[in-house]
Amino acid sequence: MKWLLPILIIFLLSINSACKKSEEGTIPSGNVIFTVQHYVDGTILHENKLIYTNAAGNQYLITEVKYFISDITFYYQGRARTMVRQGKDIFYIDEDIPETKILRFSEKIPAGSYDSITFIFGIPEAKNKSFMFVNPPEVNMAWPQVLGGGYHYMMMNGKWKDRSEVIQPFNFHLGIGQLYHGNNYNTDSIYAFIQNYFTVSLPESGFTLRDGETLTFNLQMNIDSWFNTPHIYDHNFWGGAIMQNQAALEMVRENGWNVFSITPKR
């Protein structure tokens, strides 16, 4: 009878292993890929060319576009949801670094019909911690500690032609805002910080993912929308730097509601 015990143990272990493999194999799932593209007024962005005019009449060019998005979420049947991670849930995107413009999600997405896709533009307060990035390019997005710390949500840099026809640089930067005592921007007078990240709800983003399928979507940023809806943004009024101007940052945040769209890649 002693020889039956080892055989019984081996038999039970083999059944347990087979059950696990069977359970894993019965979960239908697929892959999702995002490719990111930047446009101005419906045409692909051309950097360093003074060929664009915004709603305020500012003639401008773009030299850099880089930003974070986080907490990409697929909504399923209006209630359940799956949050996409890649060993992390914060993604850096840079127009000048092609590999950052392809978001490949390492885990499988459960198959099914999804209602919509959302994400956070920037980094939410609970996750936006100083010094969490130690290597470039992400480390170069640090937001000054005295202004709230953490990281820029976006650095979009460029130049515009002012009223005197002089080309001026602008830093269209979005991050944590500040409130100041008095009418100056002395950092000693800061009494509160404002979180300017926001949720992007992508229109017409429902999709169906079948078992074993890989779906690719084009995620598009329309840069001119930062300057025209719902507020007309005038570089001549706001000037070249807005990091300490919460009124400007709030306008930028509110203009971000329709900057992004998404379409299946055919």
15 located within any domain: no
pLDDT averaged over 10-residue windows placed end to end, the chain, 266 residues: 42 41 66 96 96 97 98 84 77 97 88 94 96 96 97 98 97 97 89 97 95 96 96 97 96 96 90
Amino acid symbol at 128: N
In SS3 terms, the chain reads as: CCCHHHHHHHHHHHHHHHHHHHHHHCCCEEEEEEEEEEEECCEECCCCCCCEECCCCCEEEEEEEEEEEEEEEEEECCCEEEECCCCCCEEEEECCCHHHHEEECCCCEECEEEEEEEEEECCCCCCCCCCCCCCCCHHHHECCHHHCCCECCEEEEEEEECCCCCEEEEEEEECCEEEECCCCCCHHHEEEEECCCEEEECCCCCEEECCCCEEEEEEEEEHHHHHCCCCCCCHHHHCCECCCCHHHHHHHHHHHHHCEEEEECC
pLDDT for position 10 = 39
Integer CA distances (angstroms), 29 to 33, 68, 110, 124, 214, in order = 14, 27, 4, 29, 9
45 located within any domain: yes
43 located within any domain: yes
Strands 59-76 and 154-161: antiparallel
pLDDT for position 151 = 98
pLDDT for position 1 = 45
How far apart are alpha carbons 91 and 43 in whole angstroms? 24
106 located within any domain: yes
113 located within any domain: yes
52 located within any domain: yes
Burial per residue of 81-90, b for 16 or more beta-carbon CB atoms within 10 angstroms, e otherwise: eeebeeeebb
pLDDT for position 106 = 73
How far apart are alpha carbons 103 and 90 in whole angstroms? 11
How far apart are alpha carbons 62 and 52 in whole angstroms? 9
14 located within any domain: no
Report the domain count for the chain.
1
Tokens 């490949």 map to which residue?
A: 104
pLDDT for position 104 = 87
Amino acid symbol at 231: H
- Cα 135 to chain centroid, rounded: 19
18 located within any domain: no
- Residue 182, domain extent: 29-264
